[in-house]
Amino acid sequence: MSLRAATGAVFRREMQLFARRKSDWANPIVFFLIVCSLFPFAVGSESEKLKLIGIGVIFVGALLASMLSLPRLFEEDARDGSLELMLASSEPLAVLILARITALSLGLGAALTVATPVFALFYALPFDVAGMLALSVALAVPTLLLIGAIAAALLVSARGGAILTAVLVLPLTIPTLIFGAGAALRVLNGQSPVAELALQGAFLLLALALCPLAAAAALKISTD
């Protein structure tokens, strides 16, 4: 089987699983919704106050929702044995991992991106800000999943999964958070978000280049 066929097969399998198991994308969305609706209770319901925190809350909510989907990347496959097959394949592991992350990014990213402008209504954000926030989330989810894949791969065979994933991954997501929320903040202040978007794009490309290799090394370590 050629590399192309193998990559395509991994990608298609992921997409089919995603379409079949609704909980994989429904649960992160519901989680996202609940997180976004909690903050007004704590902060107060005046729309001026909500506008100030809205961008940050929605972006962090999307970040946490993608974090919750990380165990999906390798954990179930480790249990049912399909991870062994992937490791035994003669194709480069990093490419196969990239195919899986791409599939998850498309599925989860699309779901979170669609949900974002709707949640922006909770926070009285104008439409142009909501649109920019959706674009930011769309750019950020793949970056977050790429970084998170390293931790997810390391933790396949370790104790204390979810919380440790968060401890390892969240500090590394700060640049994405700064520029992702920053782009929407620029629009809110009537400025151009081009620089923030460009930097987000740069982070995505950097993550695309480095993270699959690191995740492949991590997977080899943890399944050794």
Partner 1 sequence: MARTEQQSNDKFAGRWFWRYAAPAAFYPLAGKIEKIGWVLAVVLAAIGLYMGFFVAPTDATQGEVYRVIFIHVPAAWMTMVIYLAMAFWAGTGLVLGTRLSFMMSHALAPTGAIMAVVALWTGSLWGRPTWGTYWVWDARITSTLILFFLYVGYMALSAAFDDKKKGDRASALIALVGAINVPIIYFSVKWWTTLHQGSSVRPGSSSMATTMLWAMLIMTFAFWAYCVAAAMHRLRTQIIEREAGAAWLDGATK
Please, which residue, 85 or 167, has the CB nearer to partner 1? 167
Q: Does 210 bind partner 1 (CB under 8 A)?
A: yes
Q: Does 218 bind partner 1 (CB under 8 A)?
A: yes
Q: Tell the burial category of 53 from Cβ atoms under 10 Å away from its Cβ (0-12, 13-18, 19+).
A: middle
For residues 122 to 151, the per-residue mask of contacts with partner 1, x marking binding by CB under 8 A and - elsewhere, is ----------------------------xx
* Cα–Cα distance, 45 to 39 (Å, whole number): 9
Tokens of 122: 């909770």
CB of 221 to partner 1, least distance (A): 4
Q: Does 222 bind partner 1 (CB under 8 A)?
A: yes
| Contacts (CB under 8 A) with partner 1, residues 156-195 | 157-160, 164, 167-168, 170-172, 174-175, 178-179, 182
Q: Does 78 bind partner 1 (CB under 8 A)?
A: no
* Cα–Cα distance, 83 to 54 (Å, whole number): 40
The answer to whether 187 and 128 have CB atoms below 8 angstroms apart is: yes
Please, which residue, 29 or 172, has the CB nearer to partner 1? 172
Please, which residue, 15 or 172, has the CB nearer to partner 1? 172
Which one of the spans 14-22, 23-31, 120-128, 216-224 is the region binding partner 1 (CB under 8 A)?
216-224
Which positions ≥6 away from 6 have C-beta within 8 Å?
A: 89, 91, 95, 96
* Cα–Cα distance, 110 to 65 (Å, whole number): 13
Q: Is 80 helix (H, G, I), strand (E, B) or coil?
A: helix
Tokens of 210: 């480095």
Q: Does 74 bind partner 1 (CB under 8 A)?
A: no
* Cα–Cα distance, 93 to 89 (Å, whole number): 8
Contact footprint for partner 1 (CB under 8 A) = 150-151, 154-155, 157-160, 164, 167-168, 170-172, 174-175, 178-179, 182, 203, 210, 214, 217-218, 221-222, 224
